[in-house]
């Protein structure tokens, strides 16, 4: 019998920034579909399942709800304007703290780290977020060691990424961490990710 797949879950919610979620999805799904021998799958989920209305008008369909998502080995918490409500939602913050107790690796993109900070998960730790939200991150938890110039910050069981497109870099780092640098280079080439901005 084949061993159970380890699961990476990308959280979706109303107001999620599209690329925060879809950038990591592209990287991680390319990897898991092309290299099933590595033993990982990537899924999307939301509080109740079903559609999520993203920040810029795209609607995406979550595959699972909180209740039926497979046990997670990695959680990807994207950002977007929807995280502002999460920061002030006691039930959501309790859910995040529960994930800390059961999920080995928590990751965030952009303002997803604000939710981690509001839940007390970044206390005394290095972290980053979108450049425009660094002051808010510091306000939520003044003990956070801000890394404003980092594309992502790996602090062991928590990895935070800077804004929007930095989620792609963070996801490639996850591939390197979980399956090795050679595999990450294969994925990077496969999705033809080689930034050379025109301006």
CATH code assigned at 166: 3.40.50.880
Q: Which domain holds residue 86?
A: 6-190
pLDDT reported for residue 118: 98
pLDDT reported for residue 198: 87
Does residue 12 sit within a domain?
Answer: yes
pLDDT reported for residue 1: 61
Contacts 24+ apart (CB under 8 A), 183-187: 183/31, 183/35, 183/38, 186/34, 186/35, 187/27, 187/30, 187/31, 187/34
pLDDT digits (tens, 9 = 90+) for 111-166: 999 999 999 999 999 999 999 999 999 999 999 999 999 999 999 999 999 999 99
Does residue 1 sit within a domain?
Answer: no
Does residue 148 sit within a domain?
Answer: yes
Catalytic residue, candidates 110, 153, 159, 187: 110
Does residue 91 sit within a domain?
Answer: yes
pTM here? 0.96
Does residue 11 sit within a domain?
Answer: yes
Does residue 196 sit within a domain?
Answer: no
Q: Catalytic annotation on 110?
A: yes
Secondary element (H or E) of residue 20: helix 18-34
Domain total of the chain: 1
């Amino acid at each position: 019998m084949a061993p159970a797949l380890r699961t990476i879950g990308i959280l979706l919610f109303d107001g999620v920034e599209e690329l925060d979620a879809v950038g990591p999805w592209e990287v991680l799904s390319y990897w898991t579909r092309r290299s099933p021998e590595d033993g990982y799958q990537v899924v999307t989920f939301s509080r109740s399942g079903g559609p999520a209305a993203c920040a810029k008008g795209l609607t995406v369909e979550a595959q699972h709800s909180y209740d039926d998502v497979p046990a997670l080995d990695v959680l990807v918490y994207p950002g977007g304007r929807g995280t502002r409500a999460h920061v002030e939602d006691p039930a959501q913050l309790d859910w995040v703290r529960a994930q800390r107790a059961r999920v080995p690796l928590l990751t965030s993109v952009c303002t997803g780290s604000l939710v981690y900070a509001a839940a007390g998960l970044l206390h005394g730790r290095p972290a980053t977020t979108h450049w425009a939200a660094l002051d808010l991150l510091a306000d939520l938890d003044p003990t956070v060691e801000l890394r404003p110039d980092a594309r992502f910050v790996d602090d062991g069981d928590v990895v935070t990424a800077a804004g929007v497109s930095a989620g792609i870099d963070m996801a490639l780092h996850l591939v390197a961490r979980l399956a090795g640098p050679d595999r990450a280079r294969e994925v990077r080439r496969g999705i033809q990710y080689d930034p050379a901005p025109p301006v």
